[in-house]
Amino acid sequence: MTSDSDGDQTPRLELHGITKIYPSVIANEDVSLSVKRGEIHAVLGENGAGKSTLMKMIYGVAKPDAGEMKWEGGVVQVENPAHARSLGIGMVFQHFSLFETLNVVENVALALPGNPDLKQLAEQITEVSNRYGLPVDPGRLVHALSVGERQRVEIIRCLLQNPKLLIMDEPTSVLTPQAVRKLFDTLRQLADEGCSILYISHKLDEIQELCHVATVLRDGKVTGDCIPSEETPKSMASLMIGKELPVPEHSVPSELGEVRLQLKRLSKASDDPFGTDLQDIELEVRSGEILGIAGVSGNGQQELLYALSGEIPVGDAQAILISGTPSGRDSPDQRRSNGMGFVPEERLGRGAVPRMSLTENALLTAHRAGMLKRGMIQFDKISAFASKCIENFNVKCGGAEHAANSLSGGNLQKFIMGREILLIPKLLVVAQPTWGVDVGAAAFIRQELIDLRNEGTAILVISEELEELFEISDRIAVIADGRISPAKKLADTSIDEIGVWMSGMWDQAAPVEVAAHD
């Protein structure tokens, strides 16, 4: 990284009056901001505030309809991402831009100029990944990587380009607390070397700790700026959403009901040679409780979710019981018929079909709720259901007939969560429930999960955000190397203890505690 001379005070990037209008929405209106050399500059805003669109224009993915962009003092029009990279602009997208059928080193090579030697590049990837604490195997196929591991590939790919400006869109949403600390050290080092960083995150404590300055967007417009170190997460949330941040109300469950999910010595060898085998997993989730599972990405979460959803059936039908029914060999549809709802960690592709409308995506899992009559789709009912989901969960979009891939990541997450919650399933399995959503929406979704629990639903939440799990869970366990730890009531554990357990160090603990009975 080449550092800039102290005497050059020309901003690295300047935006003046940037406007972007789509047929159904004004994404950005008269946006201006300036990023200095060596500055970590946050862009704050709710889902749909225009943050990602603005970053895409800087990176050349989209073109502004009005306004001017200056790069190192000169007016520039970024034609495409390749042009952006040639200027020294790198970007880590919220939605990954990786080819799943290629391996890590091949994906990285596609973003680099010329025809790099893959063996030499693999060595560079290993060196950079070790240096910055972002471990990844250069030879692994991307489709076999967890979400967290894919995020690492995106970050490493950018770092290999030696950027002058690094754009990071929700970079820590799937990283462990330890990995976040290491990433922050990396970003501070890059800033000290003169690299400018544009940082988008809904984790306001991160913004407060890391960023030098913040620009606030609301409804596509700049509504203010602040110095995060002089603010609190609460005050920054108020700047973002224009009101005080709601706090979820989570009381101890009064009475637990029947066992809705029981895993009995669930073992499953991973189909991926680089995956994690599940080993003798036992747990219970009862009606009226939320069981949270924490863990470092890549420790069996993906394999457990595939087994629970039915996408990869297990050999022993008795290994998974849903409301007492042996379900290990059941298909996803059979499990849903038995009362299970499911939210995968991958929004596009598994949670929603990208090119289908929100109405059609609602039909995929909600058709049992009176939306079919003698095999015929009741379009008025499914449209009303999709519209209710959009309204209740404040999904910012052009309407129920717009395609899923037209939504920002956070808004699509709200729609998928809303679709499953409105069905009031007997059992709900959720992965990363608030990944990529703003602080206000995250608080709302967490409260909805608590309210659903209060109505008697059994909820299993797999998340890599410890604070989230401690905010909504009644009991918490850890998955590490394909094994499940004892499950503890929140009053009997702490974030520090769970953090230690995430390394697999719970062998001296008491035998597995099943659901609380008091």
- Encode 400-419 in three state secondary structure: CCCEHHHCCHHHHHHHHHHH
Q: Which residues of the chain have pLDDT under 50?
A: 2-7, 509-518
Determine the Cα–Cα distance for residues 484 and 210; give it in Å rounded to an integer.
33
Cβ 54 vs Cβ 28: under 8 Å:
yes
> String of b and e for 410-438 (b: at least 16 CB within 10 Å)?
bbbbbbbbbbbbbbebbbbbbbbbbbbbb
CATH class entry, domain 246-339+425-518: alpha beta
The DSSP 8-state label assigned to residue 348 in this structure reads: B
Determine the Cα–Cα distance for residues 202 and 170; give it in Å rounded to an integer.
7
Number of helices (H), then strands (E), belonging to the chain: the values are: 16, 23
The residue type found at 391 is E
- The H-or-E segment that residue 6 falls in is none
Architecture of the domain spanning 13-88+162-241: 3-Layer(aba) Sandwich (3.40)
Q: Say what the pLDDT of residue 176 is.
A: 62
Query: In terms of Cα–Cα distance, which of 259, 342, 347 is closest to 304?
Result: 342
Q: Say what the pLDDT of residue 372 is.
A: 87
Where exactly does CATH 3.40.50.300 map onto the chain? 13-88+162-241, 246-339+425-518
Q: Say what the pLDDT of residue 9 is.
A: 81
CB-count burial class (<10 Å; 0-12, 13-18, 19+) for 26: middle
3-class secondary-structure state, position 441: helix
Determine the Cα–Cα distance for residues 215 and 217; give it in Å rounded to an integer.
7
Cα 517 to the center of its chain, rounded Å: 33
The torsion of the CA quartet 60, 63, 64, 66, rounded to 10 degrees, works out to 120
Q: Say what the pLDDT of residue 392 is.
A: 94
Find tokens 């899923």 and name the residue.
Answer: 404
Q: CB 16: neighbour CB atoms within 10 A? A: 15
Determine the Cα–Cα distance for residues 139 and 227; give it in Å rounded to an integer.
42
Cβ 457 vs Cβ 448: under 8 Å:
no
pTM, full prediction? 0.70
Phi and psi angles of residue 403, each rounded to the nearest 5 degrees, phi first: -70, 150
Query: In terms of Cα–Cα distance, which of 366, 505, 496, 382 is closest to 422?
Result: 366
What separation, in Å, do the N-terminal and C-terminal C-alpha atoms of the chain show?
59
